Amino acid sequence: MATWGIHFRIADDLLKHLKKIVREYFIIGSIAPDCGRRVAGGYDPPTEITHLAKMWYKKDCDYNYIFENCIKNENDLKKRSFFAGYYAHLLKQER
């Protein structure tokens, strides 16, 4: 599992290769899944929700859901940039 710092570095690397993206929104999206509030027994919202996963270990993230429903047909560049970062985060969790 990558730390939020690793996700920042990955986002920074990816940005070198992406066009038509709002840098700030992409970076925020890349750490958004890990920004839950620590509570007894886990996080709020739960990791299963933020990572679209069936189990806490995050190895079954449904990153395709983010692409199909939040990126593919999104015309708002800021929203698309945020969700592209979110998508990159989930892809990293799979690896």
Question: What gap in Å lies between CA 88 and CA 95, rounded to an integer?
Answer: 11
Residue 48 has pLDDT above 90, yes or no: no
pLDDT tens readout for residues 61-88:
788 899 999 999 999 999 999 999 999 9
Find which of 48-52, 56-60, 86-90 is predicted with most confidence, using mean pLDDT.
Answer: 86-90
Q: Which two tokens stand for residue 39?
A: 């509570």
pLDDT value for 86:
93
Mean pLDDT is lowest, of 50-59, 60-69, 84-93, for 50-59
Q: Which has the closest alpha carbon to 91: 29, 24, 25, 19?
A: 29
Checking phi first, is residue 4 left (phi over 0); if not, alpha (psi -120 to 50) or beta? alpha
Question: What gap in Å lies between CA 4 and CA 8, rounded to an integer?
Answer: 6
Residue 2 has pLDDT above 90, yes or no: no
Write down the pTM of the prediction. Answer: 0.83
Beta-strand relationship, 37-39 and 42-44:
antiparallel
**By three-state DSSP, how is residue 82 classified?**
helix
pLDDT tens readout for residues 10-37:
888 999 999 999 999 999 999 999 888 9
Comparison of pLDDT for 1 and 85, the residue scoring more: 85
